[in-house]
Structure 1
Amino acid sequence: MFYSDAVRVHGDKAMAGNTENKGGQRGSRWRRAVWGTAAFILLLPLLAMQFTGEVAWGPADFAIFGAMLFAACGTYEMAARMTGNTAYRAAVGVALAASFILVWMNLAVGIIGSEDNPANLMYGGVLAVGIGGAILARFQPHGMARALAGTALAQALVAVIAGWGYTLILTGFFVALWLTSARLFQKAAREQSLAGAAP
């Protein structure tokens, strides 16, 4: 009796260890995929420069782009370490992608007119709404969903102020990304509530 219980306990520990190892391997693969994708994206302009004169990046361009990629990937990895909830991780990924594209477009060509147009600074306010809302929500999924919905509203307000003619398609694109992130955070909040209610 004692021997069979010991074997069962040892088997349970081994299974738990295998599950943890598999989770760690999955996380490691995801990290490699995220950082590998970032490295590939950073190399794309260099490759494009070999085939066309339209892309002419200098060291400063690569430094800024690389710093932005590093910040986005580092933030995602921190979020991934905080929780194993897939919906939460996906929500963070979508929000970071939207932020990255918004900042890069503003720096590269500008969204409202050219990159020198001071009206483009309003998009800094859009990001401030999202970041401020996330801090107030303490990065909890339910509050994050509200913060991203507010970010979508701020994005639409910038378009209204600037005039829809300039930014209609791009505004729709970014609003869709912010709302997708908000819905994923809502899903993460529901899953968190169900897990908390489980006996």
Structure 2
Amino acid sequence: MNTSQSISRPVIYLAFITGIVLLIPLVAMQFTNEVVWTLSDFVIAGSLLFGTGLTFILATKTSENKMYRFAMGLALGSSLFLIWANLAVGIIGPEDHAFNLLYFGVIGIGILGSLFTRFKAYGMMFVLIAMSFAHVILLVAALLTNMQSVPSSSVLEIFGVNGMFIFLFTTAALLFRYAEKKEQST
């Protein structure tokens, strides 16, 4: 079986699943005024979901290592969640607060690092460590610049949200380390 045939089926499934997920807010909009999405919301959400899934498919297509697949899923899922939360409600204060733009730098580190390391487990471990460290820097910067005084951003919330992403990215880094050791032993 050639590569294009082995990739086309998962991509078709991914497109189908993305469409199904996007039907949820579309249907909800018909029954409540609590869900109000614009066309650009659907385009952005669809692009994020499909792009994340496609990245997973392409990054894991040659790996049979289940730990590598799990680590990649956690890294990509955490990154998707960071982007989604930042766009939807913001990490610090409201979604349009300028400090929130800095969190896209964490995603930039992940993208550039992943491309540079060619998605290899050993390199991905360091990419995820760098992403965790960037979150630590943003946590400290938020507190030093008094972001806890922004409405809906207490010290506890700043520690909690950033701590959650630090934990997720560090866990993914450790899983990539384990996946690398498993690859070396085989």
Give the structure 2 partner of residue 173 of structure 1.
164
CA 1:37–1:192: 2 relative to 1, 3 Å? same
Task: Give the C-alpha shift of residue 32 in structure 1.
Answer: 7.2
The correspondence of residues 101-180 of structure 1 with structure 2, limited to 5 A, is 101-163=81-143, 165=155, 166-180=157-171
Q: Which runs of 5+ in 2 are unaligned?
A: 149-154
Distance 2:61 2:89 in 1: 35
Deviations 1:52-84 (A, max 9, x none): 211101211111111111111110110121312
**In structure 2, the residue corresponding to 1:88 is in which secondary structure?**
helix
Task: Give the C-alpha shift of residue 155 in structure 1.
Answer: 1.2
Aligned residues: 172
Distance 1:102 1:70 in 2: 16
Amino acid at match of 1:189: E
% same residue: 38
The correspondence of residues 2-81 of structure 1 with structure 2, limited to 5 A, is 37-81=17-61
The two structures, once aligned, show a CA RMSD in angstroms of: 2.5
Give the structure 1 partner of residue 181 of structure 2.
190
Moved more, 109-118 or 161-170: 161-170
Task: Give the C-alpha shift of residue 43 in structure 1.
Answer: 2.0
Distance 2:14 2:129 in 1: 26
TM-score, normalised relative to structure 1? 0.76
Task: Give the C-alpha shift of residue 158 in structure 1.
Answer: 0.7
Q: Which has the higher contact order (CA 8 A, sep 6+)?
A: 2
TM-score, normalised relative to structure 2? 0.81
Bigger-Rg structure (1/2): 1
Q: Which runs of 5+ in 1 are unaligned?
A: 1-19
Distance 1:69 1:55 in 2: 19
Distance 2:181 2:89 in 1: 40
